[in-house]
A and B are shown apart, each in its own frame.
Chain A
């Protein structure tokens, strides 16, 4: 099979029936593997890792803060891709996938903000600072709320999908800023990347990075959050597809009456 044919094979999932049939089959794998990774990662991190020499036991917050912040940003980027697919190809499943992902993004952003504040208080002496990363994260949270509100406010689903897709494009600036703001705005309390840095792994970058004793359980937690996100998106997209079918059936019934 050629690469182009393989790439084209993805569009078969734009068919709601095909999407639902496939997700029914793969969902148990994602639910179970997410539960295992999260349980092992969190228990390992909480019970079996030492305190940090500077941060004490607050370092244990890393197992929730970093994966949730990572997913908060990547959830928006996933919504950006599916929104672009909607705008270009008009596949309803992609618009519904973006809609289904938004509440997951809200929860991930909220967890990152709450755990960040709780961690920041003993380390920085404040719950909150108008630091570039924190501020762009707060704006991302507001964008998530606005995105959900826009879907709920517009009755016609195609118009709602169009407008929310445009909002998603605009909000992407803040999703990217919340990841890279610390790199080009030097003021602020939040540190730069200390976990996912290619240079730190290859040895070309010798600045401080998170120790392996914390990194291994953290990596497992990140995998767990990714798997949980996939399971939730697939499940919730299925729900949105069924809700759309109910609306279509009722509209057809009203038109025939």
Chain B
């Protein structure tokens, strides 16, 4: 299934590995921060409404 990349195997595979790693990190960190901030906002709103 794996195509024969010949003498450029290292170049092609490292390009894909690094790019997909960077894109994956960007998506995961964005989602992680998004969830963290959303829960912080909900807690802050709850605390402020409770404390009046």
Contact = CB atoms under 8 A, between A and B. Distances in A.
Contacts of B34: 235-236, 238-239
A103 interface: yes
Given A114-B19, A236-B34, A245 B11 contact: no
Contacts of A114: 15, 18-19, 22
Contacts of B45: 249
Interface string B2-19: 011111110110111011
Of residues B6, B14, B26, which shows the largest number of chain A Cβ atoms within 10 Å of its Cβ? B26
B41 A246 contact: yes
Interface in B1-52: 1, 3-9, 11-12, 14-16, 18-19, 22-23, 25-27, 30-31, 33-34, 37-38, 40-41, 44-45, 48
A46 B3 contact: yes
B12 A57 contact: yes
A88 B30 CA distance: 29
A122 B8 contact: yes
Contact of B7 (A56, A103, A111): A56
Contacts of B19: 64, 68, 111, 114-115
B37 A235 contact: no
**Chain B contact surface mostly:** helix
A104 B26 contact: yes
A249 B44 contact: yes
A68 B20 CA distance: 11
B8 A57 contact: yes
B18 to A, nearest CB: 5
A243 interface: yes
Nearest to A58: B8
Nearest to B14: A118
A47 interface: yes
Given A47-B3, A57-B3, A239-B34, A118 B11 contact: yes
Contact of B37 (A119, A228, A246, A249): A246
A232 interface: yes
Nearest to A249: B44
B16 A239 contact: no
Interface of B: 1, 3-9, 11-12, 14-16, 18-19, 22-23, 25-27, 30-31, 33-34, 37-38, 40-41, 44-45, 48
23 contacts: A42-B16, A47-B1, A56-B7, A57-B3, A57-B4, A58-B8, A58-B11, A60-B5, A60-B16, A61-B11, A64-B15, A64-B16, A111-B23, A118-B14, A232-B30, A239-B38, A242-B40, A242-B41, A243-B37, A243-B41, A246-B41, A249-B48, A253-B48
